[in-house]
Amino acid sequence: MNTILNVKNLRKNYEKFLLNDLTFQIFEKEIVGFLGPNGSGKTTTLKLLINSIPADGGEIFFLGEKIKKSHIEFRRYIGYMPETGTPYEFLTAKEYLEFMMDVYKVKKNDKKIDELLSIFDLKDVKKRIKNFSKGMKQKLLFISAIIHDPKLLILDEPFNSVDPQTVYLMKKILIGLKDEKTSIIFSSHILEIVEKLSDRIILLNNGTKVYEGEINKIKKEESVEELFNRLSSSNDADENLKKVIEIIKE
């Protein structure tokens, strides 16, 4: 199995946070769910993977080549959807996608853009992004991440604020891209989606990898939700439930 991304002993220090010696690989034609509680280091890791923030240690190899601090050319082969990114709001959706195709050095194709916008119900070419809902912006960011047919797709909470029909479409698209040899890593708090969509999961807690494994093997013993709660210090949920009920009943 071909290795697309190889992460070795990745570190990042903040004032009260340490991403600690994170090591994992992403292989060709697989979808990896990237899990962890809030503040566990998921978004930090995904930003490190595209070299948008500097690491404090470790190495990242993309398609066998080590990524250095000054490298940006490799991003042409990666699609990235940030958790809280907001497109240039003074543009229309079509103008934004044209801009992104320039960034990725892909030949502009009006038919391609128009068809994608129509499929995602964003075809109002006169409407500025500043007037989009959160869900509409998410859909546009998703399109911009896949429009250049990347070798690696990195998605940070892609399903947030998106309607169920579009979530279904996005999931089908990700499976289709995987079948066409795109490798995908995505973070999500929607554990049902992670369980159904992923081939493997990586679970972080407090900046440390606490689990990595195949979905099929996990499901023989427990659900992803049960695994997540067991390994992310959430196993006091039952006790907290009792306390909440007692407090509101006082």
Cβ 200 vs Cβ 32: under 8 Å: yes
- Whether residue 50 is contained in a domain is answered as yes
Q: How far apart are CA 95 and CA 98, in angstroms?
A: 5
As a whole number of Å, the end-to-end CA separation of the chain is: 59
Is position 131 within any domain?
Answer: no
Q: Quick one: which H or E segment has residue 237?
A: helix 237-249
- The CATH number that applies at residue 30 is 3.40.50.300
Q: What angle do CA 197, 156, 173 make, to 5 degrees?
A: 40
To the nearest whole percent, how much of the chain has pLDDT over 70? 96
Question: Does residue 176 have a pLDDT over 70?
Answer: yes
Q: Is 126 a residue whose pLDDT tops 70? A: yes
* 22, burial (CB in 10 Å: exposed 0-12, middle 13-18, buried 19+): buried
pLDDT of residue 237: 63
Q: What letters, b where the CB count within 10 A reaches 16 and e where it falls short, cover 175-202?
A: eebbeeebbbbbbbeebebbbebbebbb
- Has residue 94 been placed in a domain? no
Does residue 65 belong to any structural domain of this protein? yes
Residue 144 lies in a domain: no
Query: Does residue 250 have a pLDDT over 80?
Result: no
The number of distinct structural domains making up the chain is 1
Place of tokens 């940030």: 82
**What is the rounded average pLDDT for all residues in the chain?**
91
The structure's pTM equals: 0.91
Residue 31 above 80 pLDDT?
A: yes
Asked whether residue 71 is domain-assigned, the answer is: yes
Task: Say how many CA atoms lie within 13 Å of 183 toward its Cβ.
Answer: 18
Q: Which residues have a Cβ under 8 Å from the Cβ of 52 and sit 6 or more positions away?
A: none
Q: Is residue 129 part of a domain?
A: no
Higher per-residue pLDDT: 60 or 244: 60
| Residue 55 domain flag | yes
